[in-house]
Amino acid sequence: MIIQANRVLTPEGLREDGWVEVADGLVVAWGVGTPPTPADEVFDLVSPGFVDVHSHGGGGVNFTDGADAARVVLGAHLAHGTTTMLASLMTAPLDALMTQIEDLTPLVASGELAGIHLEGPWLAPAYKGAHDASLLRDPSLPEIHQVVTSGPVAMVTIAPERPGAMAVIRWLASRHVVVAIGHTGADDACTRQAIAAGARGATHMFNAMPELLHRAPGPVLPLWESPDVWVELVCDGVHVAADLVTAVMKSKPNRCVLVTDAMAAAGTQDGEYVLGGLAVEVRDGVARLAGTNTIAGSTLTLDKAVRVAVNAGAPLELALRAASSNPADYLGITGVGRLDVGLVADIVALNDALQVVKVMRRGIWA
């Protein structure tokens, strides 16, 4: 099959009049200009399939609801161009967390999921967001070892100021588990110490952490300026002002990652939901803990994140890379995120308004 488009995000950048050849689920060739044989499909814009490394749910359910629910989540986001996902799990008792990991492990083994992200319980109570404060705890090597080795955990969010955190960060980094700093009240010095210990991510930067102030820059400044740190950005126009998101993206083009932080309502409708055992109300597409103004995840999909970023001034190529190759590189997920020879044929076709027209996963149109 040959897929042609007015614009294609190739391994060498966004190119006009590009084409991609697919066979046996892989990209076998790509080029610019006239394809070797007439195209089977022609679109306005073709991008690698999107990669979401921070999402809790969609389609009415969450990843914590088990394997069958996880497939519903995957399908809801696939319809919006996301072909690779981590399953993000909320703070829970350790035995419940390990059961959730066990439930999802077969989906990682089958390639349906790319891995598991633990967002908690090693977070700061003052910046807990939608996490259950009664379940938050200090990290310790014995329990981290127990949980992380119970399944395919690829990323852990941690508040580095909690006692024992630095030793845990070093141990996780030594096992090639991505450590992301988030839900934290850490100051500048503590954050820099965590980066030196091996932390390489910023969980939804700006959210669930102190504001950047001129006499107290907190965690944002070191996360933003460190060349080794990947910064997650929730670009829905609610979590962070869209023009600030685009400013960060332009200043850190090779380390910016668009994420959804989506919960069950993504891809569905307003109503009452549950996230991390807590009641959530979704009104006008915004999820908040019931009866509060606290944001509880989002209803975002990555195609919308790309549109919001571009409409706020981000270059199209940068926005697409922030939703595809950058998150793949952040997690070290090989074989996805680029339309290059030998990689899997994950493709999202979009129209001129950046709306998803068609999605291919592993060489098959969804």
**List of residues 6+ apart from 202 with CB closer than 8 A:** 180, 181, 182, 219, 223, 224, 229, 230, 231, 232
Using N-to-C axis directions, what is the helix angle for 165-174 and 141-148, rounded to 10°?
40
Question: Most distant CA pair in the chain: distance in Å?
Answer: 62
- What are φ and ψ of residue 104, in 5° steps? -90, -15
Q: What is the dihedral of CA 66, 67, 72, 75, to 10 degrees?
A: 140
Angle (CA) 80-254-110 rounded to 5° is: 45
| Residue type for position 217 | P
Residue written as tokens 């022609």? 42
Pairwise CA distance, residues 229 & 221, whole Å: 11
Angle (CA) 247-248-249 rounded to 5° is: 90
Tokens of 184: 């934290």
Element (H, E) at 20: strand 13-23
Tokens of 101: 């990991």
Active site positions, annotated: 261
| Residue type for position 202 | A
Grouping H, G, I as helix, E, B as strand and the rest as coil, residue 173 is helix
**List of residues 6+ apart from 53 with CB closer than 8 A:** 85, 86, 114, 117, 155, 232, 257, 259, 327, 330, 331
Tokens of 259: 């994420």
Which alpha helices (H) appear in 152-278, and where do they start and end?
A: 165-174, 188-197, 220-225, 242-251
